[in-house]
């Protein structure tokens, strides 16, 4: 019995130390800055929208480079409205997106699968009429070349069918009237979260970013300091 308590204590202590190492690494690396590229061509507005747990990127629906409504179809939303100027993209764990509308609904099984690479992922899109800048919504201005790279990053995050179109997840109710879910590439984990995805998206198009962050507050720190 004493050995059992001893091993249980060692296991518990190890888990605590690993958690502290994870949180310490997250704090340290999220406070280290990947500097933005020099850019004098402020051509396309892009917004970073954060909340306490998640980060979205908000893009114009139509530019000379892409019309997102051609692939992220209005018909996949509840109302099928077409009068929108912006579209928000977020990537994350499929189980969390589809089964957890509030934190009170979060199941231990969903959380464990998400943490340890055991579930698939989804892209959540939401059409918007306007975007309000603020502390949790920061505007960037990208050059056409930078925006092309961001387009490629987002498109490479989406699974596609034989026709090259994103695969809509239709067997679930959306959050609102103008959003939809799509099958995504990649695995969610403690080390590659929805916020890591957004941070990598910023890196892909030459914007200021964290070295690494699993949390939204890392991105907020970079754009509020």
Per-residue pLDDT of the chain (225 residues; tens, 9 = 90+): 666 556 666 666 777 888 899 999 999 999 999 999 998 888 999 999 999 989 999 999 999 999 999 999 999 999 888 889 999 999 998 887 777 655 555 555 555 555 565 678 999 999 999 999 999 999 999 999 999 999 999 999 999 999 999 999 986 777 888 999 999 999 999 999 999 999 999 999 999 999 999 999 999 999 987
Q: Which long-range contacts (CB under 8 A, 24 or more apart) does 168-174 make?
A: 168/73, 168/76, 169/94, 169/98, 169/122, 170/76, 172/98, 174/77, 174/78
Q: Are 122 and 92 in contact (CB under 8 A)?
A: yes
Q: What pTM, to 2 d.p., does this model score?
A: 0.89
Q: Are 65 and 155 in contact (CB under 8 A)?
A: no
């Amino acid at each position: 019995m004493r050995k059992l308590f001893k091993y249980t204590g060692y296991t518990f202590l190890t888990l605590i130390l690993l958690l502290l190492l994870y949180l310490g690494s997250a704090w340290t690396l999220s406070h280290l800055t990947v500097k933005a590229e020099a850019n004098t061509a402020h051509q396309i507005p892009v917004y970073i929208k954060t909340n306490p747990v998640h980060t979205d990127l908000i893009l114009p629906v139509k530019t000379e480079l892409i019309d997102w409504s051609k692939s992220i179809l209005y018909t996949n939303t509840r109302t099928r409205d077409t009068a929108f100027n912006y579209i928000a993209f977020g990537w994350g764990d499929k189980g969390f997106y589809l089964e957890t509308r509030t934190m009170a609904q979060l199941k231990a099984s969903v959380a464990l699968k998400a943490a340890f690479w055991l579930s698939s992922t989804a892209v959540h899109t939401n059409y918007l009429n306007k975007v309000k800048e603020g502390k949790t919504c920061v505007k960037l201005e990208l050059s056409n070349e930078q925006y092309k790279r961001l387009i490629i990053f987002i498109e490479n995050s989406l699974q596609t069918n034989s026709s090259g179109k994103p695969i809509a997840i239709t067997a679930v109710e959306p959050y609102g009237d103008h959003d939809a879910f799509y099958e995504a590439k990649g695995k969610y984990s403690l080390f590659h979260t929805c916020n890591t995805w957004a941070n990598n998206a910023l890196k892909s198009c030459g914007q200021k970013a964290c070295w690494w962050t699993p949390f939204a507050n890392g991105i907020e720190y970079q754009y509020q300091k």
